[in-house]
């Protein structure tokens, strides 16, 4: 397997799942800041020009965080990355969906790419501030969803934690935000896992 990733991007969530699974994989860095994702070499892998993209051993490619994570969990049952209990599964999915569709795609997207939301550079700071307020409100939602649980789906790690982790990483480590208590505890718990620590170290983020 080969993971196309960018250090510190959402692909860190897939990277940490690969570390948790423990099978061999190759990492291929895509330098978003240099526009490598827009070049033909990467577009041939993922025409959407986004990381993460996972190339399987048969050469086929999976894109979209949730699809990659689900495929990894289903094809590596020994790693126990999907809860069997319907309630745990549903609540975990709820957290992953909110982390990606709302925190990433609305809140952090405004902070990282204000030009997508405003025509004039003079408005970029306003867009960034809107994104930050959205992220702060979003972490309160996630904080409530984590109440009484160590991980997104309950007592043990699942694919859902990988998505929650990368938005917590962006909030705490990239944007200097103070995470609410349950998110802060979850973030610390994740960083203490050897697999997560390896993924962070490999990406130069430790």
Ligand X SMILES: N[C@@H](CCC(=O)N[C@@H](CS)C(=O)NCC(=O)O)C(=O)O
Cβ closer to ligand X: 162 or 182? 162
**Per-residue three-class SS string for 75-134:** HCHHHCCCCCCHHHHHHHHHHHHHHHHHHHHHHHHHHHCHHHCCCCHHHHHHHHHHHHHH
Nearer to ligand X, 63 or 185 (CB): 63
Choices 44-52, 135-143, 179-187, 191-199 (CB under 6 A): range interacting with ligand X? 44-52
Task: Give the span between the Cα atoms of 183 and 144, in whole angstroms.
Answer: 9
User: Among residues 194 and 204, whose Cβ is nearest to ligand X?
Assistant: 204
Q: How many chain residues are in contact with ligand X, going by CB under 6 A?
A: 11
Q: Write 149-155 long-range contacts (CB < 8 A, 24+).
A: 150/186, 150/189, 151/186, 151/189, 152/91, 152/92, 152/95, 152/96, 152/186, 153/83, 153/88, 153/89, 153/91, 153/92, 153/95, 154/83, 154/85, 154/88, 154/91, 154/92
Nearer of residues 68 and 79 to ligand X, judged by Cβ: 68
Residue selected from 3, 4, 7, 9 as contacting ligand X according to rule CB under 6 A: 9
55 is a site residue for ligand X (CB under 6 A): no
DSSP-assigned letter for residue 4 = E
Q: Is 62 in the site for ligand X (CB under 6 A)?
A: no
In terms of CB distance, is 103 or 182 closer to ligand X? Answer: 103
Stretch that binds ligand X, among 17-25, 47-55, 133-141, 150-158 (CB under 6 A): 47-55
| Token code pair at residue 84 | 């069997």
**Which residues have C-beta within 8 Å of that of residue 56, sequence separation ≥ 6?**
1, 62
Scanning residues 74 to 103, which ones bind ligand X (CB under 6 A)? 100
Binding span for ligand X by CB under 6 A among 45-53, 121-129, 131-139, 152-160? 45-53
By CB under 6 A, residue 37 contacts ligand X = yes
Using rule CB under 6 A, residue 49 touches ligand X: yes
Which residues of the shown chain bind ligand X in the complex (CB under 6 A)?
9-10, 32, 37, 49-52, 64-65, 100
């Amino acid at each position: 397997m080969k993971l196309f990733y960018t250090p510190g991007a959402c692909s860190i969530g897939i990277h940490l799942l690969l570390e948790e699974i423990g099978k061999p994989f190759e990492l291929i860095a895509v330098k978003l800041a240099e526009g490598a994702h827009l070049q033909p070499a990467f577009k041939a892998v993922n025409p959407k020009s986004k990381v993460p993209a996972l190339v399987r051993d048969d050469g086929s490619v999976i894109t979209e965080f949730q699809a990659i994570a689900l495929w990894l969990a289903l094809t590596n049952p020994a790693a126990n990355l999907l809860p069997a209990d319907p309630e745990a599964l549903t609540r975990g999915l709820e957290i992953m969906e909110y982390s990606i569709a709302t925190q990433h795609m609305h809140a952090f997207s405004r902070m990282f790419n204000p030009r997508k939301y405003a025509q004039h550079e003079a408005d970029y700071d306003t867009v960034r501030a809107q994104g930050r307020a959205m992220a702060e409100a979003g972490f309160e939602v996630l904080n409530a969803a984590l109440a009484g649980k160590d991980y997104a789906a309950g007592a043990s790690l699942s694919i859902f934690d990988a998505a929650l982790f990368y938005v917590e990483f962006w909030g705490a480590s990239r944007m200097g935000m103070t995470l609410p208590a349950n998110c802060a505890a979850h973030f610390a718990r994740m960083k203490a896992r050897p697999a997560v620590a390896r993924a962070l170290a490999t990406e130069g983020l430790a």
